[in-house]
Amino acid sequence: MEEVTKALKNDDITTIGVEGMGGVGKTSMVKYVAAQALKNGHFNHVILAVISQSPDLLRIQGIFADLLHLRLHEETLIGRAVKLRARMMRANKILIILDDMWDEIDLSSIGVPNYSELQRCHSKVMLTTRRRNVCHVMRMQAQITLDILSEEDSWTLFVKNAASSFQKSNAASSFQESTIFYDIARKVARECAGLPIALIAVSKALGDKDIEEWKEAAQRLERSQTANLDDKGDVFKCIKFSYDYLRSNDAKSCFLLCCLFPEDEDIQITDLMKYGLGKGLFTDANTLEEARGIAHSVVKYLKASCLLLDSTEDGCVRMHDVIRDTAMSIALSEDGHGFLVKAGCKLKNWPRGMHEGYSAISLMGNKIRKLPENLVCSKLQILLLQTNYDIQEIPESFFQSPSSLMVLDFSKTSISLLPQSLSLLTNLQALYLDSCKKIIDISILGNLKKLEILSMRKFPLMELPEEIGNLANLRMLDVTGGCIRRTIHAM
């Protein structure tokens, strides 16, 4: 932290790279140091954008523009970059933070001034990355490595987040019992290998547990083995431990659902509720309002467990990329099938080499044009294909013999017809066709007898077909923002 602070104060340093393994606390440290620098007047503005493995330059430009109170009306990347660069040059003393970079990026394509221009206007660029080579290719003048915490710093962070258990121990009648507890707690903390993200998750999971549960936790973490041989091994066993300690299946399932969204996405809690209902969660809810309340409670619990993060967007939540990777590994270890997640990866073609055992497939937010003739995934329960605007047709044979599919999302695609094979989805409980503005016939939906949730926001047709009245189990029909003038009274 001192090195970063010193580099920010040094007028001869314009570019700073912070490198370290996933979960070591790069983002938290950079945000803290930046906030202090802003408070102390070293900078007039601090603007931060998450870059991630598949950078969306238009989104990054939008974030910077919003933070600088600038409206970008230009449609092209170049036009927006020119306007953004001019704004950054006019503003003095800006700290531009590029978080979670994986590869080299031409910053001028976003609108960031070159390094000599930044120096003239007393501004700086700081990036975080897991890859040391990124600091080199981006020509960072100061390259700072953030190591894991020392044993004592790890212990301090651990105790802070498991406060209630330590209070119980201090109140124990036996000095010997208290000593035994501290020895066990030290052993648990060491298993977190100095990684803040692991220390916080494990300490939160054990925060209110008694000494017997701490003993069991120490043994489980010591025995824990992972197939990962890279720097994620210790993180995996600790996050998996925290996941195992979640009290309810709803919480565990919602946690796994979050990894189906693109990396660093602001995940709408409403979407989690809808997908959760489709997957059979929130069974204690008798009404949608109750389900919504349970979903919000579950998200609050997951945030308190440090498995989800707050979002700057209202009604949303975020997932740390390291925890997201772990969630996908947990999905594989839980059911032996795992998830295929390539969301927001700019895919133009359907992925090759897919095996038929996936329980969930998320290809949302890509540029896929054509679907395969057959979807051969007999174990599949969730299929998310929304925001692939170029999908115009679902092949007639796409859906196979009666399957396990429970949740299907084709929102924001250009489909006009639904195939007859949709009738084979006898277990489908939730279907999303939001903003499918070219759709002309949905009468086939009347055959989906188990359907409980049908979302067709901004539906282009003037009335619903009579067949919709056959959906006896329908609990939610959402046609918000559409043109519907006539509904089915039989519902």
**Is 50 exceeded by the pLDDT of residue 240?**
yes
138: which 2 tokens? 């981006």
- Supply the DSSP string of 379-394, one letter for each residue: T--EEE--S-TT----
Whether the pLDDT of residue 233 is over 80: the answer is no
Q: Map residue 274 onto helix, strand or coil.
A: helix
Q: Which domains does the chain have, with CATH numbers?
A: 2-145 (3.40.50.300), 151-244 (no CATH), 249-322 (1.10.10), 337-491 (3.80.10.10)
- 350-395, pLDDT tens digit by residue? 998 777 788 899 999 999 999 999 888 888 999 999 999 999 999 9
Q: Which amino acid is at 419?
A: P
Under 8 Å CB-to-CB from 169, ≥6 apart: which residues? 177, 178, 181, 182, 211
Mean pLDDT value across the chain: 88
Does the pLDDT value for residue 155 go beyond 60? yes
- Output DSSP code: residue 130: S
* Mean pLDDT, residues 141-155: 90
- What b/e readout covers 68-77, taking b as 16+ CB neighbours within 10 angstroms? eebebeeeee
Q: What angle do CA 308, 310, 312 make, to 5 degrees?
A: 145
pLDDT at residue 175 in the model: 53
Cβ contacts of 325 within 8 Å, gap of 6 or more = 22, 232
Q: What's the predicted TM-score (pTM) here? A: 0.78
